[in-house]
Amino acid sequence: MQATAAASGIAFTGLATSPLPAREPIERSGPPRFRIGIAGYSLRPYFRYMKGKQQKFQPIPKGVSFTNRDVSNGLTQVDFLDYCVSMGVEAAELTGYFMTPGPDGFPTEASLLELRRQAFTRGVVISGTAIGNNFTVGPGKRYEQEVSDAMRWIDLAATLGAPHIRFFAGTAAQLAKSPSRMDEAVVAVNRCAEQAANKGVFLGVENHGQLSAAQMLEIMDRVDSPWVGINLDTGNFVSDDPYGDLEACAPYAVNVQVKPVMKSRTGEKTPADYDRIAKILRDSGYQGYVVFEYEDADVLEALPKHLAQLQTALA
């Protein structure tokens, strides 16, 4: 596998200048097909837990009801499954940040198996999870901890029955600090890819942290695993042509995250063109989950409207 190395004392020099084979797009058979879901991150203010700790959550407003469970102490992932049922979607992305933590801060195996059972009995497919890793922090203890935690989450995702992890390589700001940051990120993703292959879990490297389309494609070229692709977030490219960036990366997508806004290089936000996004996905032959994520405070009122528009565009 390209760019693998020992877990400590690792040397990253020379990787960036090595000749790299162009990676082929994901091979698919048949026409495009889309399985629509919702990301747990959309309801983040309402969850009881945030990254292993209880947070000061917002209560669900009076008059809003999507579960017969008691949500007075904040939402759990099971409550979010009920929300997905109420929205009529096939899939739920159970974001790792909001899971009930065990003694070590990670969810227990028993809690994940119970969550898996609850999803199955509701007829909701778990499309994946997200873990918030960062591989551009620079070599050292924190870097190794980031890799170790990501490995742990791969095991947990397999227990949960989540086929995909929304994976962060790092941030553009940290990549700009040193040419070696990209090398370090590639090594980390390759190390995790071996574990993912053993567990049957896809790693979708997300265009998070203002990574450019060129940087995303470089990572794809340098990660030698059929279990690694792109988690294509439609709202994360910050460029003069975000739709062009989506077109360039769509052939490598293993999961798609749709947001209701697009961003320009100047920071201007414009409403997403769902029809145009759908055409890009169709033209690329994409087959898989399309997960909607809403980030604004009016999520309970606005998400159903946007979801309906997206469903119409993808129909």
User: Structural domain tally of the chain?
Assistant: 1
Query: Domain span at residue 39?
Result: 33-314
Q: Is residue 19 part of a domain?
A: no
Q: Is residue 198 part of a domain?
A: yes
Q: Is residue 6 part of a domain?
A: no
Helices 242-249, 274-284: axis angle to 10 degrees equals: 30
pLDDT per position as a tens digit, 239-253: 999 999 999 999 999
pLDDT per position as a tens digit, 163-214: 999 999 999 999 888 989 999 999 999 999 999 999 999 999 999 999 999 9
Q: Is residue 10 part of a domain?
A: no
Q: Is residue 119 part of a domain?
A: yes
The span from the CA of 79 to the CA of 202, in Å, is: 25
Q: Is residue 117 part of a domain?
A: yes
Type of residue found at 133:
N
Query: Is the Cβ–Cβ distance between 181 and 222 less than 8 Å?
Result: no
Q: Is residue 3 part of a domain?
A: no
CATH number at residue 167: 3.20.20.150
Q: Read off the pTM.
A: 0.91
Q: Is residue 37 part of a domain?
A: yes
- Please tell me the predicted confidence (pLDDT) of residue 267: 82
Query: Is the Cβ–Cβ distance between 205 and 169 less than 8 Å?
Result: yes
Looking at the predicted structure, is the pLDDT value of residue 14 above 70? no
The span from the CA of 237 to the CA of 220, in Å, is: 17
Query: Is the Cβ–Cβ distance between 41 and 293 less than 8 Å?
Result: yes
